[in-house]
């Protein structure tokens, strides 16, 4: 979908298709074209505006059904370098215990209407890390990319067969690599998995919710903390790494409500912001917090929030909004665009929560929003 520049609400369809896995949309900063990465018949394929003709990515990729995701991530750098990452699980071992990170990076030549791809790479990493945020050009590695991912293993892999949930999300990893080889591969577990007893029935959750890289090439990873028991405090955690993975800061957002979702971004004035949203029992809430940086010992805190909830009306927001940021090719400015999903029906007159599921597309709405930043 696209719309003309300005504030007109008139959206028109540019293309549509079928994918058996996650679909990614990025803007190419080098050519101002749109690239869509999709998986028709489980094959990674890129479609570029304005023709959106399909171009299959080279390499050897697993053919999976729509119920078995590739756990893919896709991002683009300021020079137009785009990187796709997937997880390959070894079928001869217990699921999620012996995995490989496979990736491929390339650039689009708008004058020739062609892609040039580096050779596909593979790195054995052991336990599965997935739901990656990919940042080409955002590390200290020459011609490299950085990334952040969540530890995602089965209860069998965790050696805790009595767990009530099938999977454990209990760690965050920063990693980087050269785009054309793994000789410069680096990784560090910024949130180390908590010990889990073999008899445990509930596991502690420390799951990545959002990540972004600022103009100083620092990676900010926001993750959700919960459990293992209901008596344990929930919290939003924040960890910051430099461009080579060194830990700069780690804490929780002590003044942020202990529920909801967060997104962080930077504006044209190099100010940092945190967008917080939640689905309440009678209304949805959206607040924008300025993020304050202080030193000489580096620390971050949240300022007085701007309440944007009235813009949501009576709609019940579902999950985390998506915002346009540099890893998707968006140039930073003094406004931020995004999309969010909400129930098709509104809260009723009594303010009761309208129940709906994000998988029920007939009962969902997708909204575009733009936040003009103060100052």
User: What pLDDT, in 10s, does the model give residues 302-316?
Assistant: 999 999 999 998 888
Query: Which strands sit side by side in the sheet containing 24-27, from one edge to the other?
Result: 24-27, 34-38, 45-48, 53-56
With 80 as the cut, is the pLDDT of residue 134 above it?
A: yes
Better-scored residue on pLDDT, 55 or 232: 55
Mean pLDDT of 51-58: 97
User: What pLDDT, in 10s, does the model give residues 162-202?
Assistant: 999 999 999 999 999 999 999 999 999 999 998 899 999 99
With 60 as the cut, is the pLDDT of residue 361 above it?
A: no
Q: Are 239 and 172 in contact (CB under 8 A)?
A: yes
Neighbours of 282 (CB within 10 A): 12
Cα distance between residue 159 and residue 235, in whole Å: 26
Q: Are 220 and 211 in contact (CB under 8 A)?
A: yes
Q: What is the predicted pLDDT for the residue at 200?
A: 95
With 80 as the cut, is the pLDDT of residue 230 above it?
A: no
Look at the block and give the residue holding tokens 């050897």.
60
Q: What is the predicted pLDDT for the residue at 233?
A: 79
Cα distance between residue 160 and residue 146, in whole Å: 32
Q: How many CA atoms lie within 13 A of 339 on its CB side?
A: 8
């Amino acid at each position: 979908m696209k719309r003309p520049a300005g504030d007109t609400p008139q959206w028109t369809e540019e293309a549509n298709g079928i994918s058996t896995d996650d679909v990614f949309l990025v803007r190419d900063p080098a050519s101002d074209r749109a690239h869509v990465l999709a998986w028709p018949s489980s094959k990674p394929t890129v479609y570029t505006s304005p023709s959106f003709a399909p171009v299959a990515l080279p390499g050897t990729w697993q053919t999976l059904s729509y119920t078995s995701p590739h756990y893919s991530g896709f991002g683009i750098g300021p020079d137009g370098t785009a990187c796709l990452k997937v997880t390959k699980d070894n079928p001869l071992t217990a699921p999620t215990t012996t995995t490989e990170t496979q990736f491929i990076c390339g650039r689009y030549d708008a004058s020739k209407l062609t892609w040039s791809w580096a050779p596909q790479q593979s790195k054995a990493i052991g336990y599965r890390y997935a739901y990656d945020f990919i940042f080409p050009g955002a590390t200290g590695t020459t011609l490299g990319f950085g990334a952040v991912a969540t530890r995602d293993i089965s209860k069998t892999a965790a050696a805790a067969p009595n767990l009530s949930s099938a999977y454990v999300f209990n760690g965050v990893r920063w990693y980087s690599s050269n785009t054309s080889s793994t000789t410069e591969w680096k990784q560090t577990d910024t949130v180390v998995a908590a010990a889990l007893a073999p008899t445990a029935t509930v596991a502690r959750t420390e799951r990545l919710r959002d990540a972004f890289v600022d103009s100083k090439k620092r990676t900010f990873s926001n993750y959700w903390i919960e459990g293992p028991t209901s008596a344990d405090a929930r919290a939003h955690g924040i960890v910051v790494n430099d461009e080579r993975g060194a830990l700069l800061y780690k804490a929780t957002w002590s003044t942020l409500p202990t529920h909801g979702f967060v997104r962080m971004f930077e504006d044209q004035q190099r100010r940092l912001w945190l967008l917080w949203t939640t689905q309440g029992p009678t209304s949805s809430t959206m607040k924008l917090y300025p993020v304050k940086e202080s030193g000489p010992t580096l620390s971050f805190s949240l300022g007085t929030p701007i309440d944007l909830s009235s813009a949501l009306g009576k709609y019940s927001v579902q999950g985390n909004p998506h915002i346009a940021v540099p890893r998707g090719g968006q140039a930073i400015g003094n406004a931020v665009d995004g999309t969010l999903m909400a129930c098709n029906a509104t809260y009723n007159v009594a303010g009761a929560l309208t129940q709906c599921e994000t998988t029920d597309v007939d009962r969902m709405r997708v909204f575009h929003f733009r936040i003009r930043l103060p100052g």
